[in-house]
Every structure is written in C-alpha cells, then in structure tokens.
Amino acid sequence: MKLHAAAILLVFWLGIFTVHTAKGSIGSQSMRKFRCVNLSTQQLNIRNLISYEKQQVPVNAIMFLTTKGIKICVSPDQRWVQAAMKKIDQKRTTKGK
C-alpha cells in the first residue's frame, strides 16, 4: 500500500513539474515582431495615425499605428505617406518641448 501511495505522489509531482517547466519555456519566448508582408493601397486619414515605423525587410514599407491600435502597412513612395510621417514627426517634436 505504501508503494502505491508513493507512486501516485511521484506521478503527481512529476505532472506539476512538467506543467511548470512547459509554462516557463513558453512564457520566456519573445513575441515575434509584426512585419509587413502585404501593403494597403488605400489612403488613410492622417488624423487617425499616431506613429509609424520604417521597414525594409521583407518589403520596403511604412507601418502606421492607428488610434485604435491597428497596424497598417503602406508603400513609402506615396505622397500622402510622406505627409503623414511629417505630421507625426511634428507632433512628436511639439510634445517633447
């Protein structure tokens, strides 16, 4: 009887250890950074954009972040994109003063 109880206890502790180790390894992995693959062709409302990030790999793109937290990738060659980036930069410099 004692051997049976010891075996159950051993299995129980091994199960807890396995779950704890699996959670630790998954939790310690860094999240993959969002990357642009497809580019939107629609012009966005500049007032709804709060920041941007330039990207060159895997495609040359500008990733805008909207006020709702949505990331949208566009081609950096468009005039409205350049204007939006300039406006965001101006907002950043006026907030920093």
Amino acid of residue 45: N
Q: Token pair of 80, please?
A: 């409205």
Q: Which two tokens stand for residue 20?
A: 């704890």
pLDDT band at 91 (very low <50, low <70, confident <90, very high): confident
**What does the pLDDT read at residue 70?**
93
Average pLDDT over residues 67-71: 93
Burial (0-12, 13-18, 19+ Cβ within 10 Å), 10: exposed
Residue range 18-36, pLDDT digits in tens: 444 444 444 444 445 778 8
Which residues are CB-contacts of 60 (< 8 A; sequence separation ≥ 6)?
75, 76
**At 8, is the pLDDT very low, low, confident or very high (cuts 50, 70, 90)?**
low
Domain limits of the chain?
A: 1-31, 46-96
Strands (E) located in the chain: 49-55, 61-66, 71-74
- CATH of 46-96, picked from 2.40.50.40, 3.10.20.600, 3.90.25.10, 3.10.20.30, is 2.40.50.40
